[in-house]
């Protein structure tokens, strides 16, 4: 069964329209996933607690620094400059 040129054009246009609608839907779903990032005002008190700080435990921070700088071959890094070459 042969299709006429008009029906082929209509078929291709409908496929293109469906593809565009699917792409728009995917784009809207992707962008809506990022719409709720951030901290809500009623959640801020939880993150302001002292035990939620990244550097809460000074001993853990010291041990992490020791392990990191031993593996990297660097010195300093947190508050002072320096490199791993030993030329400073």
- Concatenating the DSSP letter of every residue in 25-57 gives HHHHHHHHTTTT-S--GGGHHHHTSGGGSTT--
Report pLDDT digits (tens) over 23-75. 999 999 988 877 777 778 888 888 788 877 777 788 888 888 888 777 766 66
Q: How far is CA 87 from CA 60, 63, 67, 71, 84, in A?
A: 29, 25, 21, 18, 8
* Inter-residue contact 65 to 78 (CB < 8 Å): yes
Q: Which two tokens stand for residue 22?
A: 């699917």
* Inter-residue contact 50 to 57 (CB < 8 Å): no
More confident call, 1 vs 36: 36
- Give the pTM: 0.39
């Amino acid at each position: 069964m042969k299709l006429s040129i008009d029906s082929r054009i209509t078929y291709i246009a409908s496929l293109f329209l469906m593809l565009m609608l699917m792409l728009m839907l995917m784009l809207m779903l992707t962008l809506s996933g990022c719409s709720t990032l951030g901290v809500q005002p009623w959640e801020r008190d939880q993150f302001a607690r002292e035990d939620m700080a990244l550097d809460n435990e000074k001993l853990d921070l010291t041990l992490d620094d020791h392990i990191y700088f031993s593996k990297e071959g660097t010195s300093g890094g947190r508050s002072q400059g320096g490199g791993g070459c030993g030329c400073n």
